[in-house]
């Protein structure tokens, strides 16, 4: 019985050591990156939450190694994130704020997200048409009109963009 107990303790010690090794940090990071792109900051937060016994320096080192090997890329993350959020009907302001909250460099945001992108008009038109569901007229200042404006602002569109997209549907 003592031999079994020693064997179990040895396996537990080995498992504990392997959790702390940089190799396991890399494995967890690669698992996250296999699912989707992550910003450097976002991945660091995830690793710190998943591996609380691992030191921040060890996590930082491994993340820098992954970045050097181009396995983690903030550029790829921004491209992917912008494309996805646009496809879900979000506007410039919302996407920009989300990227800033993930501590993405402002230069990267500016390189991949444009306030004057013509796609915003198409996205807005699709949202308005879907929300109106077949109706062709909105009464200016009505509950429905104000609700639509609030919805579009929440999606991250500017007031001029919203006014422009709703102008053809408004009736005084």
Q: Kindly list the domain boundaries of the chain, sorted by start residue.
A: 2-72, 73-172
CATH architecture of the domain with residue range 2-72: Orthogonal Bundle (1.10)
From first to last of the 172 residues of the chain, give the pLDDT tens digit: 555 455 445 444 444 444 455 568 999 999 999 999 999 999 999 999 999 999 999 999 999 999 999 999 999 999 999 999 999 999 999 999 999 999 999 999 999 999 999 999 999 999 998 988 877 788 888 898 999 999 999 999 999 999 999 988 887 6
What are the CA-CA distances from residue 89 to residues 5, 82, 83, 93, 96 (Å)?
58, 11, 10, 12, 14
User: What is the Cα–Cα distance from 146 to 152, expressed in whole angstroms?
Assistant: 10
Q: pTM for this structure?
A: 0.81
């Amino acid at each position: 019985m003592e031999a079994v107990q020693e064997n179990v303790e040895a396996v537990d010690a080995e498992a504990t050591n392997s959790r702390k090794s940089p190799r396991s940090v890399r494995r967890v990071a690669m698992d996250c990156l296999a699912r989707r792109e992550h910003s450097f900051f976002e991945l660091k937060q995830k690793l710190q939450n998943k591996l609380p016994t691992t030191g921040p320096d060890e996590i930082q080192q491994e993340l820098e190694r992954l970045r050097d090997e181009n396995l983690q890329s903030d550029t790829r993350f921004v491209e992917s994130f912008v494309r996805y959020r646009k496809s879900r009907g979000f506007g410039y302001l919302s996407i920009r704020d989300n990227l800033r909250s993930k501590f993405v460099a402002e230069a990267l945001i500016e390189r991949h997200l444009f306030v004057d992108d013509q796609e915003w008009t198409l996205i807005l038109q699709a949202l308005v048409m879907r929300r109106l569901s077949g109706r062709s007229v909105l009464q200016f200042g009505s509950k429905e009109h104000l609700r639509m404006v609030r919805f579009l602002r929440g999606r991250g569109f500017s007031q001029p963009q919203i006014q422009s997209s709703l102008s053809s549907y408004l009736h005084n």
